[in-house]
Amino acid sequence: MSAVLQPREARLEPITVERIAAVCTIERSAYTHPWTPANFSDSLVAGYHCQCLVAPALPSGDPAPSRRPRALWGRPAAQIGGETLIGYFVAMKGVDEVHLLNITVAPAFQGQGWAPLMLEALSGWSRGQNAQWLWLEVRASNLRAMAIYERQGFRRVGVRKGYYPAEGNAREDAVVMSLRLNESTSAWGTLK
């Protein structure tokens, strides 16, 4: 199922133990090497900033084929009780910086502007924590994500060789990116 939701319909809420199964459903659908439920549980226990973007439950049935992007056919959205899970992020606060560990938009909702919206919300939270920098790593092959980060003001600052697992016991480089928080501007406003 794919659908187009409006930003006013979505809200950020904490990832809870009860939401981990739905989060992991999306994680497995989005990545070849997904985080495990234990990774998310450990993040909660460690006190990381773990948020999910939820919206009211979608009506049953797929939208009309003319409104459904072909690339998204057959990709279900995860449901949490009476809500639809659009995406989530996990971030770790340091002394004067925040490190984005995971950000994911459900495949059914990709390409609709949800990742930039979550990045803006994370940037705002980070500023509220008096962080000066927001850091992340991204697979060198993930050009789409790098383009989103760059549009949000992130800059490429380095490479971590062999950082990510890849197919066949190979390793893939990570591109390290950073955003100086007092320089970024918001095109999205705030998300409550």
Q: How many CB atoms lie within 10 A of CB 47?
A: 9
Exactly one of 149, 164, 172, 183 is catalytic; which is it?
Answer: 149
**What distance in Å separates the CA atoms of residue 85 and residue 2, rounded to the nearest whole number?**
12
C-alpha 168 chain-centroid distance: 26
Can you read off the two tokens belonging to residue 187?
A: 């095109």
Can you read off the two tokens belonging to residue 26?
A: 């999306």
- From residue 77, how far is each of 29, 72, 177 by CA, in Å? 10, 10, 29
Q: Is 149 among the catalytic positions?
A: yes
Exactly one of 137, 150, 172, 183 is catalytic; which is it?
Answer: 137
Q: Catalytic residue numbers?
A: 137, 149
